[in-house]
Structure 1
Amino acid sequence: MEGQQEMNETKFVEMFKALSNATRMKIVQMLKEPEKHFPPQVHIHKGDDFLGGVCVGDIRDKIGMGQSTTSQYLSLLQQSGLLEMKRIGQWTYYRRNEEVIQQLESFIGKGL
């Protein structure tokens, strides 16, 4: 059981590192309410099972950074577990991984 706890703490450290940049934290915050911060995502349909996803281009436009930096930030957030990614046609979409974010909230509330 102790090994499992250490693994979880290691994962939480990765999440904190991913959130230690103001722009990356802003991305996660904006994706909490995508309809408020981004234009309608016309290429996502209910059958795609990725509601709440936002196209990389819209995220890039909103944060005002280049494609390369935006992609690096999104990749880091995905690798940490905070975001989910899905390709739909020629577009790549990201959305918050709410289950993981709830685990992080619980860890902060109980583990720190």
Structure 2
Amino acid sequence: MANSLSDRCKAVSHPGRLDLLRWLKDPAAHFPPQIDGDLVVDGVCAVFIARKWGVAQPTASRHLKLLTDAGLIVATRKKGWVFYRRDEQACAALKFDLEKSL
């Protein structure tokens, strides 16, 4: 993986970002249905993420960028919106790397 363990750990060190990773593990249980994009296949619209977090969209975007840069979530543009979903392989690799290094 291109991102160091330290960088990936920093990305999940914020409680809100950790919550988001939990929510994205089962998006249908945590977010309302969307008109555009399937919650599981395409991911969750950034607007719904910001609303659930209770933060302004620029704040949510900053956190989402950190998780995307760490490779833990994937962003997809569709019809002018950005959707985010977990990268399950990357999350499993983080868990493995963390267990291996402790």
- Normalised by the length of structure 1, the TM-score is 0.83
Amino acid at match of 2:73: L
Cα deviation code 1:57-85 (max 9, x no counterpart): 00000000011110000001000111100
Aligned equivalents of 1:42 and 1:11: distance in 2? Answer: 37
Task: Give the aligned residue type for 2:33.
Answer: P
Asked if structure 2 preserves the Cα contact closer than 8 Å seen for 1:60 and 1:67, the reply is: yes
Larger Rg: 1
Structure with higher helix content: 1
Counterpart AA for 1:98? E
Which blocks of at least 5 consecutive residues in structure 1 are unaligned?
A: 1-6
Could you say which residue in structure 2 is the equivalent of 1:30?
23
Which residue does the alignment assign to 1:14?
Answer: 7
Query: How many residues end up aligned between the 2 structures?
Result: 101
Query: Take 2:36 and 2:11, find their aligned partners in 1: how far apart are those partners?
Result: 28
Q: How does 1:51-90 map to 2 (within 5 A)?
A: 51=41, 53-90=43-80
Unaligned runs of 5+ in 2: none
Deviation at 1:90, TM superposition (A): 1.0
Match of 2:34 in 1: 41
Identity of aligned residues (%): 36
Q: CA deviation at 1:52?
A: 5.2
TM-score normalised per structure 2? 0.90
Aligned CA RMSD, in angstroms, stands at 1.7
User: In 2, distance between residues paired with 1:12 and 1:85?
Assistant: 21
